[in-house]
């Protein structure tokens, strides 16, 4: 067995790449991941990724924001220090609306963003797990785990048939960033 860890099929065109994914799947080659410089619509279905649950998280954070806003104003304005402003009742609900709304948006956006960072393991200074430097520029790259699929020649020919312009057999997983 060779030392190849990952086989990378470079495509110049996203449609060719989708075609390549189909080819590989028809032949029961498991795809490790796909790296692209832009979002490819429909690729999640093809690779069997589940729908992201981030919108649910955003909703929960948003509701939290509404409740935080409402209870904060209620506590401060009605419970802790009710003020007589022009003889009007301290529990003036319509006046609560703008701030509750703003806090809903604030919590939803920040909550969702931090969930997004957490789920993708993003944080400032994280060493990028990049397999090929051109994946963020102009290449659409299918990565195949060579150890799990030990038939490199067949993979080569499948990728070539689909229109890959370059096929790399890498001995290390990520491009090093030292």
Strand partners, 167: 9
- Of the two residues 26 and 177, which places its CB atom closer to another protein in the complex? 177
From 159, 140, 164, 144, select the one nearest 30 (Cα to Cα): 144
- Nearer to another protein among residue 103 and residue 164 (C-beta): 103
Give dist(CA 173, CA 177) in Å, integer: 12
Kindly state the smallest distance separating residue 153's Cβ from another protein, in Å: 26
Contact residues for another protein, defined by CB under 8 A: 12-15, 18, 33-44, 47, 49, 52, 54-55, 58, 62, 72-73, 76-77, 80-81, 83, 85, 88, 92, 95-96, 98-99, 101-103, 105-106, 108-110, 112-113, 116-117, 119-131, 133-138, 177
Shortest separation between residue 171's beta carbon and another protein, angstroms:
19
Min CB(10)–another protein separation in Å: 12
Q: At its nearest, how many Å lie between another protein and the CB of residue 161?
A: 18
Judged by CB, which is closer to another protein: 113, or 168? 113
* Closer CB to another protein, 54 or 167, in the complex: 54
What is the nearest approach in angstroms of another protein to the Cβ of residue 118? 10
Rounded to whole angstroms, the Cα distance separating 102 from 135 reads 38
Q: Where are the alpha helices (DSSP H) in 27-178?
A: 43-47, 54-73, 93-119, 152-162
Q: In terms of CB distance, is 3 or 51 closer to another protein?
A: 51
Torsion (CA) 163, 137, 32, 47 in degrees, nearest 10:
-70
Q: Output the CA–CA distances (angstroms, integers) from residue 80 to 50, 64, 74, 135, 175, in the order listed.
A: 47, 22, 8, 57, 58
């Amino acid at each position: 067995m060779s030392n190849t860890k990952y086989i990378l099929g470079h495509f110049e065109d996203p449609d060719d790449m989708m075609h390549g994914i189909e080819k590989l799947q028809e032949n029961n080659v498991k795809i490790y991941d796909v790296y692209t410089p832009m979002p490819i619509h429909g690729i999640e279905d093809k690779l069997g990724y589940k729908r992201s649950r981030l919108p649910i998280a955003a909703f929960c954070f948003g509701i939290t924001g509404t409740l935080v806003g409402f209870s904060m104003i209620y506590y401060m304005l009605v419970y802790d220090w009710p003020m007589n402003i022009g003889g009007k009742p301290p529990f003036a609900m319509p006046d609560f609306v703008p701030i509750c709304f703003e806090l809903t948006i604030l919590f939803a956006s920040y909550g969702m963003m931090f969930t997004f960072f957490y789920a993708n393991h993003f944080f400032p200074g994280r060493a990028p797990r990049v397999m090929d430097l051109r994946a963020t520029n102009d290449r659409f790259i299918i990565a195949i785990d060579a150890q799990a699929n030990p038939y490199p020649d067949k993979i080569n020919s499948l990728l070539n048939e689909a229109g890959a312009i370059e096929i790399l057999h890498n001995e290390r997983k990520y491009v090093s960033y030292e």
